[in-house]
Every structure is written in C-alpha cells, then in structure tokens.
Structure 1
Amino acid sequence: MIGSFLRSIAIIAASYSILKLIQYSLNKICKITKFDVRYENTLCSVLSSISYYIIFLTSTVLILREFQIVDITKFGTLVTGASIVGILAGVASQSILKDIFNGFFVLFEKQMQVGDFVIINETFRGTIEEIGVRSTSLRDWDLKRITIPNGSISSIRNFSKERMRVVVHVRVPYEEDPMKVLESLEEVCNIMNEQYKNYLFKLPSGKPKGPFNVYGVTDIEDSPVGAKYTITGIVYSYKYFNALRDTKLQILIVFRNNKVRIAYPTHINILHNDNEYRGDF
C-alpha cells in the first residue's frame, strides 16, 4: 500500500514535470515560427490546454492502476473502469461537449485570439489571456481575471480585427451657427489626420482608406438641448481607444478656442408671486 502511494506521488511529480516541459517547448517553438504573434499565442494556449487534459487523464489511469482499481491489461477491470468513467461522463458530457465544440468553432473561425480586446456576451470586457479547450480567460480593466466556459459564449465583439472606425458624436446648442460648428470640426479632423497619419488604416496603395472627416449633422429631433454632429475616421485597431480619447480631447480644445458651446441639459425655474397687486381706485 505504501509502495502504491509512493509510486502515485512519483506519477504526479512526473506528470507535472512533463507538462511544464511541454509548455516550455511550445513557447520556444512558437517564438521561432513566422506566424502572426496573436495566432502563435493562441496556438500555444490551445496546445497547452490539450496537453494538460491528456496528461491529467493518463496520470489518473496510472494512479488508479496502482491501487488496482483499473487494470488496462485486463479486459474485465478495463470494462469496469470504462463503465465508471462512462457514468461520470454521462452526467457532465452535455456541458463539456458544448464547451469543447464551441471552443473549436471559436478557434477555427478565428473569432478571437490571445491578445485581442473583446466584449463577450455584452457583459465581460477585457484582453484575452488564454483560450483553452473548455474555457476562455480574459483580463479586465481592473486586472481581474475572468474565466468563461466556451459553451456559454453567445456573442463576441472584437476590437482587434486590423481596423476600426472611430465615431465621435457631439451635441451643440441650436443657437450656434452650424457653419461655424462644421468648420471647427473640420479643424479637429485636420489635427487628428496629422497626429495619427502613421496609424490611419491604409489601402495597399498607401492611401488612407478613411481619414478623419466630418460626417455631418446626424440628429436634430431626438434631443431638446441641441443638434448632434458626427466625425469619423478609420485607424488600425490597436490605436482605436487612443484615437477615440484624443478626438474627444481635440473637440473640447478647438471648441473652446473657437468659442463654440457644447450642449448640456438646463433647467428654467419660474417663480410665481402669490401676493396680488392691489391698487387704489
């Protein structure tokens, strides 16, 4: 009994060492390949996950054999062990298979990769750190690690697919001169095109596909405070959030310099005097 216990410890230690060796080898192999970096990281993450499950199942069978619960050399005990595994698998198979199949669809369709910034199920947002056979892990803005079963992923909004369109809206009081507002927004676009000239998404010819420009007046009905103006620009995805913040900042700066007001809700209070005026007749 003591011998079986010691051999089981040795199996666990060996399995752990083999797993670490595989992970180390995968990282080294991925570094010398010429694939895209995100694809390499994703591939390493998936292969590491598969290796973990294979080694875990193998070591479990070996440990069970040490305690004579399963003997792979004897058909009877093998059938018994398979029956036990079958019962356990029958209980959990539905969710496990859903996780695995959904995970493979996500991988093969390249819906997301390690390093992508995503919003999953319109609830969880962050940077993908690991994609496994059964689950996906991401790191949010607060640096909390979130793990989501692949089977529960119903929607993915990926902010890291080569290019993204920056769309910024601003509301201006109806009293402002529309032409002055448009000229100020054109000034903002010129600043952004110069500041982000190296990050504008470009066609194979080298010409920007969608530089910053004034889209125009996009709403004058749904708000009582002012008209809505919109500017857009297409940048490489890794610069999207920087461009979004800088565009909003430039709008504030240019509007302030040009004395253009930004609309905001106001309240008018009317005070009534209950004392009636009484004159002499």
Structure 2
Amino acid sequence: MLLRKIIKSIIIIVCSYALLKLIHYILNKIFKFKRFDVRYKNTLCSILLSISYYIIFTATLILILREFGILDTARFSTLVTGASIVGLLAGIAAQSILKDIFNGFFIIFEKQIQVGDFVLINEKFRGTVDEIGIRSTSLRDWDLKRVTLPNGSINSVRNYSKDKMRVVVHVRVCYEENPMKVMESLEEVCSIMNETYSKYLIKSSHGENYSPFKVYGITDIYENSVGAQYTITGVVASHKYFHALKDAKLQILIVFNKNGIKIAYPTHINILQSGDCSKDD
C-alpha cells in the first residue's frame, strides 16, 4: 500500500516536471512566431515560466498530500484545516513575499529591466539580468556567478541597456603641456572614434549624428594638483557603450604617445635644506 503511494507520488512529480518542460517548449514556439524584441520576449518567457512553476508546484504538493491521506479535498473540514495551516504560514511570510511580488510587477510592467540588460542594482550588484520572476531577479556578474535578489529589496536600478548612452572619458595632462596641442590630439581621437563607431552613433530624425564624439574641453584644473583634466564625450548605442569606452581610452594613449603628450601622474618633490655645518678647530 505504502509502496503504491510512493510510486504514484513519483509519477505525479515526473508528470509535473514534464508539464513544466512542455509549457517552456510551447512558450518558445509561440514567441518564435511573434515579433517581439528579443529582451522583451525573454523577459515575458521568464515571468510566465515563474508563474507556471509556482502553480504546478502547488498542485503537485496538494496531489501528493492527498495521496498520503494528509489532505482530503472531498472533506470540507480537512480543507478548512489545510487552509488554516496555509494561512498561518502565509501570515508569517506574507509581508516580505507580498512586497517581493508587488515590486516584481512594478519592475516588469514599467520595464525597468529586461532579461539581457546589463544593470547595477542598489549601487552594489552589477551584472547581466539572467532571469526575472514574480518574487526574485537573478543576475550573472563578471565572474558568471549567479546573484539572486528578492524583488522587494531592489531600491535602485541603473540600466546600461536602454537604447543610448553617453561615453564620457576624462584624462589629466601635465600643466606644462601646450593646451592647444592637447586639444588637437583629442580632436584626432574623436575623429578616429567617429569613424570606427559610425554605425553605432545615435542618429537624429534627419539622419544626422545626434551627438558624435567631440572634445568637451577642460573640465578641471584645481581638484588635484597633478594636472589639467580634459574631457571627450559621445553618444552611442547602449550595447556598444563599454566597447566604445575602452577604445576611447586606448586611442587617447596611442595618440598622446605619438604626439609626445605626457599624461599627468602624482609626483613628490622633496626639498632638502643643508644646515650650516661649521667645524671647530
């Protein structure tokens, strides 16, 4: 008798797992024929799978409990007792769970983040969004470690994958360098960047570059004494932001080295005073 119940429970679990896989397959087929943005499609698929998981898990648990006679759906008193137990457990965890769920719905419907976005959450957790559920969100950081955060704990989101981003690069140059020579060298850097990233520069409605790479100018000469700070900027498609940022820094080093411009760095000058050393005869 017990063996039969165990076998039935195993069959229920296997069928539930197969049903979840079937739902995943059907969702992929449906979204394949719909013209959704890839990140939006992955986000919807992640959410629907999360909801399906909770529904199937709950149904599986009820069927197994009924199989072992712990829960009898035919008896109202048993249902009331079960509901009381569930209500007690829900009451204990309701505050945090409801907060996670409500915050999750706001994140999803306001499209604050989508699967595939590179984000910084709470100014601490940085990575690519791997999965969004109704209760939690998972990231993959630089080391490919998976970080899972309850949706209720997400207070701030910095999204690096929203259409366009401004590349801002600061460089400090020694005060002794000719400012006009530095500006000309940075103009050369901007020309290289505009040519390299011409396809990824944001276009205006007239087809012109919205904000190509250009020299913003001298942005600081006092904050620290190592040299004057020059800044270049440019607006590119968000998925090319980090590539453009790295390439801009590389081109600055290459052009400065070619033109003999020295980048400022901290130095220490020690002044030694020699005393009046008189020797008695």
Which TM class, normalised by the smaller chain length?
Answer: over 0.9
Aligned to 1:224: 225
Structure 2 unaligned blocks of 5 or more: none
- Separation of aligned partners in 1, 2:275 and 2:222: 37
Question: Counterparts of 1:205 and 1:234 in 2: how far apart (Å)?
Answer: 16
Give, in whole Å, the separation in 2 of the partners of 1:57 and 1:3.
22
Deviation at 1:28, TM superposition (A): 1.8
The two structures have a TM-score, normalised by structure 2, of 0.96
Aligned: 1:101 with 2:115: no
| 1:10 to 2:11 alignment | yes
Counterparts of 1:231 and 1:277, CA distance in 2 = 58
Q: How does 1:118-137 map to 2 (within 5 A)?
A: 118-137=119-138
State the match for 1:208 in structure 2: 209
Q: Which residue of 1 aligns with 2:153?
A: 152
Give the CA deviation at 1:267: 0.9
Q: Deviations over 1:103-154 (max 9, x none)?
A: 1100000000000000111111111111011111111111111111111111
Counterpart-to-counterpart distance in 1, 2:239 and 2:189: 21
- CA offset at residue 255 of structure 1? 0.8
Aligned residue in 2 for 1:33: 34
- Aligned positions of 1:65-104 closer than 5 A: 65-104=66-105
Q: Is the 8 A contact 1:69 1:81 kept in 2?
A: no
Segment drifting more, 66-75 vs 166-175: 66-75
Where has structure 1 moved over 4 Å in runs of 4 or more? 277-280
- Which structure 2 residues correspond to residues 270-281 of structure 1 after superposition, within 5 A? 270-274=271-275, 276-278=277-279
What SS does structure 1 have at the residue aligned with 2:177? coil
Alpha-carbon deviation of 1:275? 6.4
Name the SS for the 2:73 alignment partner: coil
How big is the shift at 1:272? Answer: 3.9
Structure 1 residue 278: deviation in Å? 5.0
Aligned-partner Cα distance in 2 for 1:206–1:139: 36
Task: Point out the more displaced range, 145-154 or 1-10.
Answer: 1-10
- Counting matched residue pairs gives 280
In 1: Cα distance, 2:119 partner to 2:29 partner: 27
CA distance in 1, matches of 2:89, 2:275: 81
- Structure 1: 5+ residue runs without aligned partners? none
Partners of 2:4 and 2:279 lie apart in 1 by 111
Q: Aligned letter for 1:45?
A: S
Contact kept? 1:117, 1:158, Cα under 8 Å: yes
Q: Which residue matches 1:268?
A: 269
State the match for 2:59 in structure 1: 58
The reply to whether residue 24 of structure 1 matches residue 28 of structure 2 is no
Distance 2:22 2:278 in 1: 95
Partner residue of 2:184?
A: 183
State the Cα RMSD in Å.
1.4
Q: Match for 1:185: what amino acid?
A: L
Residues 141-191 of structure 1: CA deviation (Å, up to 9, x unaligned): 111111111111111110000000000000111111111111111111111
